[in-house]
Amino acid sequence: MSHHPQVDAVAALADSQRAETLDLLCSYLRIPAISCLEAHRPDVERLAVKVRDEIADMGFDNARLLELPGAHPCVAAEWLHAGSDKPTVLIYGHLDLQPVEPENWRTDPHTPTVVGDRLYARGAADDMGGWVSHIGALRAWFALAGGPPCNLKLIIEGEEEIGSPNLERFMDAHPSAFASDVMVLTDCENPSTEIPGLTVSLRGLLEVKLTCSALSADVHSGLWGGMVPDVSMALTQLITRLSDADGRMAVGRVEVDEARKAAGQNIVFADAVIREGAHLIDGVDPLPVRDRSAAEWMWWQPSVTVVATTLPTLERKKNALRREASAILSVRLAPEQTADEMLAALREVLLVQPPAGVDVALAADGWSGEGWLYTPKGPAFEAADRAYEKAWGRPLVQVGVGGSIPFVALFGRRFGDLPLILNGVMDPVTTAHGPNESLHLGIFRKAIAANVYLLDELAALGSTLISG
Ligand SMILES: [Zn+2]
């Protein structure tokens, strides 16, 4: 195993250039590349073109936009001059953004602003800061060593925030843009600003529609109240059946093995971090963990959220018993749980003894996504730990994600036999997808250094990483 003779110098250069790397990040963050809004389609395109041109200038070969009808473009590039005895590392990130809710932002979401040790902007950490931390490392590799120590492919997607609807088509249409020996998928979170995270599980997602019907028309509540069912009441009674006394999903819980349970106990989520990250108001506490851990509750057990209802609203008050009431329940699945298993568990609880005798219907409706449970093993992960030791002073800690990330499930399904290193620059107070999203500048600095060392460590493994 031989390391690149200049790796420390490259790390030093990347560190000394971090102000320029931050400027580059800010220049990207000023473009509101919100993929879910048609009005911003030109911004996604404009940003993709800018990134393509700038990585071409940096030294990448074949910087290009992958395009498909109706899809936002995906930026691709490569550099394959490290030699056939060196592995090819694919780096994935995404340049598109979640929408913003201007009323809740303290600063303009598209004007990156440093306050204290954080950079505030939509996309600062999810995910622009993630892949730009690779760019910061690669710029230094190109400048000092003529290129990275391993072969490299770059994929920067333009529609992750709308669920990567075309990513598999891109994989099918451009297999060589993805073919690699190791994948570094950078769009995940660290447990804290001091502890780097390696994501190894995701929860799945199942949306169901629950409907209570009792009447063929709305009727006067003064005339009929007390003699016929109120579907709104029945619907809420049914929904509360899903919850335990602590207010947590009680249906479909899974057995988590002892090793994962123990790992979960070792990951400390301070109440203060939960309070800040989840925006808890004074006087309201996180749910009690009981005999499990916060990690288990957030990553490995199912949860449920009411995300939409047809219940009467404050604006549409009327003195009537309504004919029908529905709710969309968003159910997060345990990583290894299937949608069918959860649906069966829900049916057992919701379709028996209907409250007030109403008619109850339950069906999958809306979004769904697979969970993912991965066992990292092999030299690539030991290499990653060594890189993180150098940059963060500690190895990666295995973490889960409570959400569903379609691109991860897709990479897992298509490339699950490769080492998949899921890292990122988010931390528990980043507020990805919410107001005042921010990137911790200390994490950004360590991420750049970790990326410099990661490429060297993977390169040093040489042909042992090269598959087939
Ligand atoms: Zn993301």
Q: In Å, how far from its chain's centre is CA 259?
A: 24
- In the structure encoding, which two tokens stand for residue 272, read together? 């203060």
- Cis ω on the peptide bond leading into residue 15 (within 30° of 0)? no
- For residue 27, what pLDDT is reported? 98
Residue 94 Cα, ligand 1 centroid: separation in angstroms?
A: 7
Strands, E assignment, 138-288:
151-157, 182-186, 197-202, 204-213, 219-220
- In the structure encoding, which two tokens stand for residue 101, read together? 């809710």
Does residue 1 surpass a pLDDT of 70? no
Q: What band does 294 get if pLDDT is binned at 50, 70 and 90?
A: very high
Does residue 369 surpass a pLDDT of 60? yes
* Integer angstrom CA distances of residue 70 from 35, 38, 50, 73, 165: 12, 11, 20, 9, 10
Q: What band does 267 get if pLDDT is binned at 50, 70 and 90?
A: confident
- In the structure encoding, which two tokens stand for residue 330, read together? 């968003």
Q: Which helix (H) or strand (E) holds 14?
A: helix 7-16
- For residue 266, what pLDDT is reported? 85
User: Which of 396, 375, 391 minimizes the C-alpha distance to 456?
Assistant: 391
- In the structure encoding, which two tokens stand for residue 268, read together? 């400390």
- For residue 82, what pLDDT is reported? 97
Separation of alpha carbons 405 and 186, rounded Å: 12
Q: Which domains does the chain have, with CATH numbers?
A: 7-201+371-465 (3.40.630.10), 204-254+301-369 (3.30.70.360), 255-295 (no CATH)
Residue 389 Cα, ligand 1 centroid: separation in angstroms?
A: 25
Residue 157 Cα, ligand 1 centroid: separation in angstroms?
A: 10
Residue 353 Cα, ligand 1 centroid: separation in angstroms?
A: 42
Separation of alpha carbons 46 and 20, rounded Å: 21
- How close are the terminal C-alpha atoms of the chain, in Å? 21
**Mean pLDDT throughout 422-451?**
95
- Which range among 108-112, 219-223, 328-332, 411-415 shows the weakest confidence by mean pLDDT? 411-415
Residue 210 Cα, ligand 1 centroid: separation in angstroms?
A: 30
Output the CA angle 283-287-289, nearest 5 degrees.
135
Residue 91 Cα, ligand 1 centroid: separation in angstroms?
A: 14
Q: Which helix (H) or strand (E) holds 231?
A: helix 231-240
Q: Which residue has the tokens 């809004």?
A: 37
What is the overall mean pLDDT for the chain? 95
Residue 130 Cα, ligand 1 centroid: separation in angstroms?
A: 9
Does residue 101 surpass a pLDDT of 80? no
Residue 133 Cα, ligand 1 centroid: separation in angstroms?
A: 14
Residue 33 Cα, ligand 1 centroid: separation in angstroms?
A: 13
Q: In Å, how far from its chain's centre is CA 330?
A: 17
Sign for the CA dihedral angle at 277, 302, 399, 98 comes to negative
Residue 69 Cα, ligand 1 centroid: separation in angstroms?
A: 23
Residue 407 Cα, ligand 1 centroid: separation in angstroms?
A: 10
User: Which of 276, 258, 278, 274 minimizes the C-alpha distance to 266?
Assistant: 258
Q: What region, left, alpha or beta, does residue 252 occupy, with left being phi > 0 and alpha being psi -120 to 50 degrees?
A: left
pTM assigned to the model: 0.86
Secondary structure (3-state) at 245? coil
Does residue 468 surpass a pLDDT of 60? no
- In the structure encoding, which two tokens stand for residue 243, read together? 């919850």
Phi, psi dihedral angles at 85 (to 5 degrees)? -90, 5
Residue 98 Cα, ligand 1 centroid: separation in angstroms?
A: 9
Q: Which residue has the tokens 């007030």?
A: 356
Q: What band does 381 get if pLDDT is binned at 50, 70 and 90?
A: very high
* Integer angstrom CA distances of residue 14 from 126, 211, 325: 21, 57, 58
Read off the pLDDT of residues 200-227 as tens digits, 9 standing for 90 and up: 999 999 999 999 999 999 999 999 999 9
Does residue 270 surpass a pLDDT of 90? no
Read off the pLDDT of residues 311-326 as tens digits, 9 standing for 90 and up: 999 998 999 999 999 9
